[in-house]
Copies of this chain bind each other. A is one copy, B any other.
Amino acid sequence: MKKLITFLTLTTLLLSGCNEATVKTESVENSEISDPLPSWNEGATKTAIIEFVNSVSKEGGTQYVSPEERIATFDNDGTLWCEQPVAQLEFAAYQVKKMAVDHPEWKDTQPFKSVLEGDNEYLVNDLLNNHGKELMKLITVTHAGMTLTEFSADVTAFLNASSHPKYGKKYTETVYQPMLELLQYLRKNEFKTYICSGGGNSFMRVFADDVYGIVPENVIGTFAMNTFEQVDGEWQIVKGTKNIFMNDKATKPATIEQRIGRIPIFVGGNVRSGGDIGQLTYSQTNTLPNFQLLVNHDDDVREFAYSEKDNASLNAAQEGGWHVVSMKNDWKKIFPFDN
């Protein structure tokens, strides 16, 4: 289509001579063809994104930022893909069920019993009243003690075998089309795009490059101290549980600092648990021009509608002048498979 229009434009130019009217038509056509964010509705948010990217990329401009400082970080769950349900917790449950064959005692032992019986109440209570200590037992069993190679194969097997309960699509398909376009648009303008999420480093690396074009070294997640040791005579990275760095809320800036050593100029997060207020705030401490995007889940038809009891993220957005994305109004389509 693009080629055809370019050809027609050229033909018009040659036949008509290069008068002002022709040039104007060509320019409008080109801007339509090259819309970098086609799944975003026209509006304040889309305009602000494009203006920001243009201003920091324009050499000689007052807002210019050199490419090496164009760091963009994005939360994953609820920002780049669905977080209802949280895929990594589904993975943990999937693994517990698989491993239960070798652990007959789990039928009568919590927290495994609750997973095997599909009793969500037990873990919800644990999270609310017990700091998620029981959940951590599930995570430990399913995320540590094996080689990294084995773990990655487990994640791949889960992603291939499972599907999202609402859409019947793989979790790697329930990603937000507008955000895929935004990631690509930023990279095209020499931004380095990173994930900064509470999800596991090793979990997200299995799909981040294929799905988002985010390379392993740019995946910043929760991690623990792994070890390098000989397993069956071969040197391997073995997943451990010591010194867990839970990458959430106020620890996100600390992990970004550890990993990148630069403050991002663009951060995308979402409303759910206040989990991204930290990294969004961090980007505002940058002396360079910076941009904050907060995804609000307000579309109960096409996705889910949920909010925070204390409204912390939206309040912080108002105070900080962050750009709030209404999924309902700002996004033409939600998923790549939407019409």
A58–B115 Cα distance when bound, in Å, is 52
Q: Does A257 sit within 8 A of B, measured CB to CB?
A: yes
Task: Give A70 Cβ to nearest chain B Cβ, in Å.
Answer: 12
Collect the chain B residues with CB atoms within 8 Å of residue A68's CB.
215
Q: Does A189 sit within 8 A of B, measured CB to CB?
A: no
Collect the chain B residues with CB atoms within 8 Å of residue A252's CB.
228
Collect the chain B residues with CB atoms within 8 Å of residue A226's CB.
254, 257-258
Collect the chain B residues with CB atoms within 8 Å of residue A223's CB.
258
User: B-facing mask of A123-165, CB < 8 A → 1, else 0?
Assistant: 0000000000000000000000000100000000000000000
Select one of B228, B251, B261 contacting A205, CB under 8 A. Answer: B261
Q: Assembly of this chain: how many copies?
A: 2
User: B-facing mask of A192-231, CB < 8 A → 1, else 0?
Assistant: 0000000001100100000000011101000101111100
Select one of B227, B234, B253, B285 contacting A254, CB under 8 A. Answer: B227
Collect the chain B residues with CB atoms within 8 Å of residue A282's CB.
228, 235
Q: Is the CB of B261 within 8 A of A216?
A: yes
Task: Give A275 Cβ to nearest chain B Cβ, in Å.
Answer: 13
Q: Does A278 sit within 8 A of B, measured CB to CB?
A: yes
Q: Does A18 sit within 8 A of B, measured CB to CB?
A: no
Chain A interface size band reads 35 or more
Task: Give A9 Cβ to nearest chain B Cβ, in Å.
Answer: 36
Q: Does A169 sit within 8 A of B, measured CB to CB?
A: no
Collect the chain B residues with CB atoms within 8 Å of residue A284's CB.
235
Q: Does A122 sit within 8 A of B, measured CB to CB?
A: no
User: B-facing mask of A110-126, CB < 8 A → 1, else 0?
Assistant: 00000000000000000
Q: Is the CB of A281 within 8 A of B235?
A: yes
A40–B96 Cα distance when bound, in Å, is 56
Q: Does A107 sit within 8 A of B, measured CB to CB?
A: no
User: B-facing mask of A250-267, CB < 8 A → 1, else 0?
Assistant: 111110011111100000
Q: Does A245 sit within 8 A of B, measured CB to CB?
A: yes
Q: Does A243 sit within 8 A of B, measured CB to CB?
A: yes
Q: Is the CB of B216 within 8 A of A278?
A: no
Collect the chain B residues with CB atoms within 8 Å of residue A243's CB.
243, 245
Given contacts A148-B257, A243-B245, 9 further A-B contacts (CB under 8 A): A217-B259, A226-B257, A226-B258, A228-B254, A229-B250, A234-B285, A235-B253, A235-B282, A243-B243
A-B pairs with lowest CB-CB distance, top 7: A216-B261, A228-B253, A226-B254, A243-B243, A217-B260, A228-B250, A237-B257
CB-defined A-B contacts under 8 Å, sample of 7: A201-B261, A219-B261, A223-B258, A228-B250, A229-B250, A235-B253, A235-B284
